Structure 1
Amino acid sequence: MTDCLGLLLVVAVTAANVGDREAATGLLGRLRELHRDILLVWADGGYTGALVDWARQNLALTVEVVKRTDDTKGFVVLPRRWVVERTLSWLMQSRRLCRDYETLTVTSEAMIQWSMITRMDRRLARPRACGRR
């Protein structure tokens, strides 16, 4: 899960037999514990249904599903969904994450966090252009 800038807030890696909706309950719970000030979560169409009501009742989170309209044909950039796709692209630049080397989900989560920390460290350490402060 990312913020509006594409920075990681919470990471959850699950086994392949765990569906996105089941994993989302734990992920949203961790999000609520770590970031109490977040009230709105954007999600794609796979998270419709009972998850929206569950998050509102149990966590006081508003889950807004960003859907594609039925009359749209071809590729269309959907609002807010590109932020997550951009973050995934950034993460795939790490050689360790390009292949599935890890056997434990906690190790995969740690590698994702390590990759994002490395990316942000490089961004903060790069020299600024003249005149920018």
Structure 2
Amino acid sequence: MRRRCYPSDTTTAEWALIEPLLPVPACQTRWGGRPEKHPRRDIVDAIRYLVDSGCKWRALPKDFPPWRTVYDHFAKWTAAGIVGILRDQLRRRIRCGAGRAPQAVAIVIDSQSIKAAEIVSKATRGYDAAKKINGRKRHLVVDTRGLPLMVMVTPADVSDRDAAREVLFRLRLMHPELTVVWADSAYAGGLVDWARSFLKLTVKTVSRPKNTPGFVILPRRWVVERSMCATRRSVCIPG
């Protein structure tokens, strides 16, 4: 077993939370399979190291399992929805610890355009004329504490309203308890009527006060803006 020496390595408490949420190894199912060669905690630590440092898969330090093994597990767990399960479990724990209900009924949505590297496929990126950015757009939904419920990535030329339809539709299926969505003026218009008619969601837009120069903290919207800033602390955000 490798010695844990990186700031991104899991603590004992973190691993105790993560391990039970991972899929059962194939060798322990009725269909059978080969035993896994590398400890799962080492694989999770390798994924966390990559997210924290932004290195390439092939550049993972040698004290981790082979990069291909790490990537295959990451791809398999992502396809199985494990990332979302971990996110939801952590959010519920934090909300309950703060004396709140485990599930949110009000959410905040926003987007952020990010410049893409030259190696990124043209099919998965676009030009955001408003922000003058050629890349991808991250659509983030958080609760009123700033804890994430969903993130979806699209080409940067996809409008906020168009992306919000898919995001809110998927959220509605997973979280029927939702009632209110806070957003900026980019989400106004037809989306408000569509969400009310088809999803039974109330979309409330918060606009910047007119003739107000400089930085202004806007009610509700500042929560998702803060969460957007927090995501920048990680050099690489897979998925």
TM-score by length of 2: 0.40
CA distance in 2, matches of 1:61, 1:9: 16
Q: Is the 8 A contact 1:10 1:30 kept in 2?
A: no
Out of 163, 166, 183, which is 1:23 matched to?
Answer: 163
Letter in 2 for 1:68: R
Between Structure 1 and Structure 2, which shows a larger proportion of helix residues?
Answer: 1
Residue deviations 1:107-126 (CA, integer Å, cap 9, x gap): x4x3xxxxxxxxxxxxxxxx
Match of 1:96, SS state, is: coil
Match of 1:11, SS state, is: strand
Corresponding position: 1:67 with 2:188:
no
Match of 1:29, SS state, is: helix
Q: Which has the higher contact order (CA 8 A, sep 6+)?
A: 1
TM-score by length of 1: 0.70
Out of 197, 200, 209, which is 1:57 matched to?
Answer: 197
CA distance in 1, matches of 2:197, 2:206: 20
Q: Specify the alignment match of 1:3 in structure 2.
A: 143
Q: Is the 8 A contact 1:32 1:59 kept in 2?
A: yes
Root-mean-square deviation over aligned CA pairs: 1.2
Corresponding position: 1:41 with 2:184:
no
Which structure has the larger Rg?
Answer: 2
Q: Specify the alignment match of 2:220 in structure 1.
A: 80
Total equivalences in the alignment: 99
Q: Specify the alignment match of 2:236 in structure 1.
A: 96
CA distance in 1, matches of 2:231, 2:216: 23
Between Structure 1 and Structure 2, which shows a larger proportion of strand residues?
Answer: 2
Instruction: Give how far 1:17 is off.
Output: 2.5
Match of 2:223, SS state, is: helix
CA distance in 1, matches of 2:224, 2:145: 9
Instruction: Give how far 1:72 is off.
Output: 2.4
Instruction: Give how far 1:76 is off.
Output: 1.3
